[in-house]
């Protein structure tokens, strides 16, 4: 039986070369998710918008995955920001039409996810922390999206969009928790506290 919060006390919070490599791999993988989600989300978004303005925020979760996932795996200060920002930069390289706003969005989302790990002093990495990391990333995305992409919308739209984006972020954050355990089960994370802890819990 495991506790709700998995607590780890790493010997150091300094980055190693392997931390940079793994965080970069996570960023690349998440950039591919971002690019795939653009066409995949188009249909559902078209269906959701007429139902209730702002409801399309339910589809924002996949764009928030990099921060929580990197934070849960690397467990070092800046991992969430790094992965989300690099993933956004790679997305921008492939689709430059979206402009520099993609970079700013990635940075802000990463900071939102990072904030939760920082509040827990980079010691707790269980499902609740994962959920909160995704949710706060959703708050950060909402704070960016409303004035940049939806400046002319109503307050009702802001509320619906904000709530659905936060819910979507919380769900994607929670999904990251079993995802890390699944990745750890392969043994590729044995050089990380996240991998060793996850394998003990399987």
- DSSP-derived 3-state class of residue 7: strand
Place of tokens 């109503």: 154
Quick one: pLDDT at residue 143?
97
Quick one: pLDDT at residue 107?
97
- DSSP-derived 3-state class of residue 111: helix
What is the DSSP-derived secondary structure letter of residue 11? Answer: S
Separation CA 88–CA 98 (nearest Å): 11
Quick one: pLDDT at residue 201?
54
Residues 6+ apart with CB under 8 A from 93: none
Separation CA 31–CA 21 (nearest Å): 15
What is the DSSP-derived secondary structure letter of residue 168? Answer: H
Separation CA 41–CA 182 (nearest Å): 25
Quick one: pLDDT at residue 4?
42
Separation CA 133–CA 1 (nearest Å): 24
Specify the pTM.
0.89
Low-confidence ranges of the chain (pLDDT < 50): 1-10, 202
Q: What dihedral do alpha carbons 93, 84, 72, 42 form, nearest 10°?
A: -80
Quick one: pLDDT at residue 109?
98
Quick one: pLDDT at residue 41?
95
Give residue limits of the domains in the chain: 17-201
Question: Per residue in 27-72, pLDDT tens?
Answer: 999 999 999 999 999 999 999 989 999 999 999 999 999 999 999 9
């Amino acid at each position: 039986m495991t506790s709700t919060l998995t607590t780890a006390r790493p010997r150091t919070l300094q980055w190693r070369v392997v931390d940079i490599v793994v965080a970069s791999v996570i960023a690349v993988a998440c950039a591919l998710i971002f690019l795939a989600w653009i066409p995949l989300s188009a249909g559902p978004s078209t269906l959701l918008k007429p139902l209730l303005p702002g409801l399309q925020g339910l589809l924002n979760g996949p764009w928030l995955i990099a921060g929580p996932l990197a934070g849960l795996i690397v467990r070092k200060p800046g991992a969430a920001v790094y992965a989300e920002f690099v993933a956004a930069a790679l997305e921008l390289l492939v689709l430059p039409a979206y402009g520099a706003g993609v970079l700013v969005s990635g940075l802000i989302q990463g900071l939102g996810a990072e904030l939760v790990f920082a509040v827990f002093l980079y010691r707790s990495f269980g499902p609740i922390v994962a959920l909160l990391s995704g949710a706060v990333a959703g708050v950060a995305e909402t704070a960016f999206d409303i004035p940049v992409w939806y400046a002319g919308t109503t307050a009702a739209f802001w509320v619906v969009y904000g709530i659905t984006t936060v819910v979507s972020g919380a769900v994607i954050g929670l999904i990251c928790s079993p995802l890390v355990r699944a990745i750890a089960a392969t043994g590729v994370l044995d050089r990380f506290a996240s991998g060793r802890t996850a394998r003990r819990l399987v």
